[in-house]
Structure 1
Amino acid sequence: MVQSFESPDDLAAALKGLSDMNFEIPDPENEEIPEHEFEQQLDNAWRVCDHFDLQTDIWRGRILRAIRDREKRGGDGRGTGFLNWLKEREISKSQAYSLIELANSADTLLSEGKLDPASINHFSKRAFVETAKSAPQVQQLIAEAAKTGDRITRREVRQLTDEWTAMSSDLLPEEIKEKAASGSVPPKFLAPLVREMEKLPETHLKAIQQEATENPDISTVRQLTSDARNLSKYLHAAALVSAINQSSVDMEMALDEALRNGCLNTAADLVKQSALLEQTVAKLYTTWKKVSSLTDRLYVDTGASTPHLRLLITCLDRLAGEVIEVPLGDGDKRTIRLRVLTEE
């Protein structure tokens, strides 16, 4: 239950001692202080700041959530009161919803018993946010580590996430998992491989799994991660390129040849850039049509009494006409001319 206060003064009195943070920051020019002691004092102060920062943002999120929910019940349906409240306190809408998300995460972790309230003191703010976004199994591992008094930073969250990802994935062969368990292939190398393999169809996983089984070492894992990433880019981009979809090219055979010749990265980049080019051309055409339409409308709405507007239209004709002229700029004196030909 949240304690209520009759006035701001009562609230201030309740917070007295919590808000009076006055650290003794060691003098950086004092050479008599050993380096490890100097860093320890600063680290202790930083942890306290982290703790208050996290707790404050959780409570701010809860406050914002209450205001938003109240507005939903009795407001105008557009959230005007909530937005005005944010404006008065110079809080952006995105920042507000980020804090609400943090409060929701905290309440979920606490209500489900995944996290002991006292354990929050062991988290940095960023680590807590990362924990809230993690899989339930990872949250359990992190909560257990926090209960023992371990300091939880993003580094620990990432490490535990990588360990769980590597050891729980069905995509990795047992041979490589055994290497991970023994420490000869750290999970931080396997987690990226698993994430890339998850993007691939089953037909493309066997070769990667076979190579990992035959050579379960760090070098092979790194190469397989790169190959899987390029393969994923290749397959994703190929589905977006109309020039490919309208042809009879066998993309699987092309892929096999790229793999055989060691140029998968180049092929993947080519397909990706081709997809980007098609999207850019489509966007260019849509924008060109709009510029042309606006130019025509403005021409109709003006006359001899608006010579400056007419001059503006004349200047922009090089963009609104059938031939688009654009100087490259940045010291390059060349001009690009594109002719728009549409096929009905």
Structure 2
Amino acid sequence: MVPSAPSTEEIIAALEIPTNLNFDLPDPEDEALQDHEFQSQIDNFWKLCERFDLQTEIWRGRILRAVRDREKQGGDGRGTGFLNWLKQREITKSQAYALIQLANSADTLLEDGQLDPESINNFSKRAFVETAKAAPEVQKLVSHAAHNGERITRREVKQLADEWTAMSSDLLPDAVKEKATEGSLPPRHLAPLVKELEKLPEGHLLSLQKEVSENPDVDTVKHLTSSARSLSKYLDAAAQVQTLKAYPLDLELALEEALRLDCLGTAADLVKQATQLEQTAAKLFSTWKRLGSLSDRLYVDTGASSPNLRSLLTALENLTQEIIEVQLDESGERSVRLRILQDPEA
């Protein structure tokens, strides 16, 4: 039988705590009070403050969501009324949507039956958001832990997500999963490896899987995670570099040589920088063309009656010419000159 979603009354009851908080804080100068007793009392009060803060933020998110949705229904379509409402209360747009996301996450977990209202106070604010983003299997693990009274923060959500990722992935050999089950190979090291392996084509997986199967230890996992990350960067960047497409080059053989010489990371950064340089050059050309067009338009619109605008055009003239010179430091001792040679059809 599928459990029904909790009612509004149930949610309110679960979130309701007294608003007139009045803590009887321990006296920090009380020498008769042992340090561990003092710390225990402080921790309990702090946790209660966190609960109250979490509940307040969830309800604020729900209120903000209601205001936003009302504006969508009857506003001008641009959200002006919602933004004015935020401005009157000195709430930024990013803060508002962070609260709405928190409320959405809490409601999603409640409505899906993944979380019972009585467990809601065991979560930190960010843990709600992270749990709502996680896979359904991870949500069940987190909700079960919360139901058992465990304190759930982003750290606990990540730990459970890492465990599920490592144990459910088909990309890890059985020998590695056995080590994880035994506890000798922490899942927090395996999860990043799985995420990097997922980015690679099947033809590049076998050698990495073989190595980790033969040496299922933390150092090997870390090394292979780094290698897989560099390999993914190399493959992605190399496919984007236009210059390489016009040259007779076997990228796979170059990759094998980089692996053999243990310089894959350097090779990956090389092609990545090449991609960025090509993109920067293209952006530079379009910006240069735009600057020239704007200068021409402003020159036409000005005359002797606007000497200062003409001075502005004169000052920027060097940036609109075929040769561009830019100072690299404030002293003017270092500069760079670039010459733009246009394609006739550009």
- TM-score, normalised to structure 2's length? 0.90
**Partner residue in 2 for 1:218:** 218
Q: Which string of whole-angstrom CA distances, capped at 9 and with x for unpartnered residues, describes residues 228-249 of structure 1?
A: 1111111111122111223221
For residue 151 of structure 2, give the secondary structure of its aligned residue in structure 1: coil
Please report how far the alpha carbon of residue 287 of structure 1 lies from its aligned counterpart in structure 2 after TM superposition: 1.3
Give the distance between the partners of 2:16 and 2:247, measured in 1 at CA: 73
**Partner residue in 2 for 1:9:** none
Q: Does structure 1 retain, via aligned residues, the 8 Å contact 2:172–2:209?
A: yes
The aligned amino acid for 1:40 is S
Q: Which string of whole-angstrom CA distances, capped at 9 and with x for unpartnered residues, describes residues 160-185 of structure 1?
A: 11110100001000000000000111
- Larger deviation, residues 40-49 vs 130-139: 40-49
**Partner residue in 2 for 1:131:** 131
Q: Does structure 2 retain, via aligned residues, the 8 Å contact 1:326–1:337?
A: yes
Please report how far the alpha carbon of residue 108 of structure 1 lies from its aligned counterpart in structure 2 after TM superposition: 1.3
**Partner residue in 2 for 1:83:** 83
Please report how far the alpha carbon of residue 341 of structure 1 lies from its aligned counterpart in structure 2 after TM superposition: 0.8
Give the distance between the partners of 2:331 and 2:115, measured in 1 at CA: 59
**Partner residue in 1 for 2:203:** 203
Q: Which string of whole-angstrom CA distances, capped at 9 and with x for unpartnered residues, describes residues 265-289 of structure 1?
A: 0000111111111111111111111
Q: Does structure 1 retain, via aligned residues, the 8 Å contact 2:227–2:264?
A: yes
Unpaired runs of at least 5, structure 2: 1-6, 10-14
Q: Does 2:121 correspond to 1:121?
A: yes
The aligned amino acid for 1:55 is Q
- Larger deviation, residues 91-100 vs 232-241: 91-100
**Partner residue in 1 for 2:98:** 98
Cα 1:28–1:209 shift into 2, 3 Å: farther
Q: Does structure 1 retain, via aligned residues, the 8 Å contact 2:50–2:124?
A: yes
For residue 333 of structure 1, give the secondary structure of its aligned residue in structure 2: coil
**Partner residue in 1 for 2:151:** 151
Note the 1:191-270 alignment, pairs <5 A: 191-270=191-270
Give the distance between the partners of 1:231 and 1:124, measured in 2 at CA: 37
Note the 1:179-198 alignment, pairs <5 A: 179-198=179-198
Please report how far the alpha carbon of residue 55 of structure 1 lies from its aligned counterpart in structure 2 after TM superposition: 1.2
Q: Does structure 1 retain, via aligned residues, the 8 Å contact 2:102–2:125?
A: no
The aligned amino acid for 2:101 is E
Unpaired runs of at least 5, structure 1: 4-14
Q: Does structure 2 retain, via aligned residues, the 8 Å contact 1:51–1:125?
A: no
The aligned amino acid for 1:43 is D
RCO comparison, higher one (Cα < 8 Å, 6+):
2
Give the distance between the partners of 2:232 and 2:19, measured in 1 at CA: 51
Cα 1:34–1:269 shift into 2, 3 Å: farther
| Runs of 4+ deviating beyond 6 Å | none
Q: Does 2:62 correspond to 1:62?
A: yes
Q: Does structure 1 retain, via aligned residues, the 8 Å contact 2:288–2:320?
A: yes
Please report how far the alpha carbon of residue 87 of structure 1 lies from its aligned counterpart in structure 2 after TM superposition: 1.7
**Partner residue in 2 for 1:289:** 289
Give the distance between the partners of 1:194 and 1:17, measured in 2 at CA: 43
Please report how far the alpha carbon of residue 330 of structure 1 lies from its aligned counterpart in structure 2 after TM superposition: 5.1
**Partner residue in 2 for 1:299:** 299
Q: Does structure 2 retain, via aligned residues, the 8 Å contact 1:47–1:124?
A: no
Q: Which string of whole-angstrom CA distances, capped at 9 and with x for unpartnered residues, describes residues 276-328 of structure 1?
A: 11111111111111111111111111122222211111111111111111100
Cα 1:17–1:197 shift into 2, 3 Å: closer
For residue 334 of structure 2, give the secondary structure of its aligned residue in structure 1: strand
Give the distance between the partners of 2:327 and 2:30, measured in 1 at CA: 60
Give the distance between the partners of 1:16 and 1:191, measured in 2 at CA: 38
Q: Does structure 2 retain, via aligned residues, the 8 Å contact 1:258–1:264?
A: yes
Give the distance between the partners of 1:332 and 1:178, measured in 2 at CA: 63
Cα 1:16–1:269 shift into 2, 3 Å: closer
For residue 326 of structure 1, give the secondary structure of its aligned residue in structure 2: strand
Q: Does 2:172 correspond to 1:172?
A: yes
Cα 1:337–1:25 shift into 2, 3 Å: farther
Q: Does structure 1 retain, via aligned residues, the 8 Å contact 2:197–2:205?
A: yes
**Partner residue in 2 for 1:339:** 339
For residue 304 of structure 2, give the secondary structure of its aligned residue in structure 1: coil
The aligned amino acid for 1:187 is P
- Larger deviation, residues 221-230 vs 60-69: 60-69
- Larger deviation, residues 231-240 vs 264-273: 231-240
The aligned amino acid for 1:270 is L
**Partner residue in 2 for 1:8:** none
- Larger deviation, residues 321-330 vs 39-48: 39-48
**Partner residue in 1 for 2:18:** 18
- Larger deviation, residues 22-31 vs 145-154: 22-31
Give the distance between the partners of 2:144 and 2:298, measured in 1 at CA: 68
Percent identity (aligned): 65
The aligned amino acid for 1:204 is H
Aligned residues: 333
Cα 1:25–1:331 shift into 2, 3 Å: farther
Cα 1:217–1:35 shift into 2, 3 Å: same
For residue 230 of structure 1, give the secondary structure of its aligned residue in structure 2: helix
For residue 212 of structure 2, give the secondary structure of its aligned residue in structure 1: helix
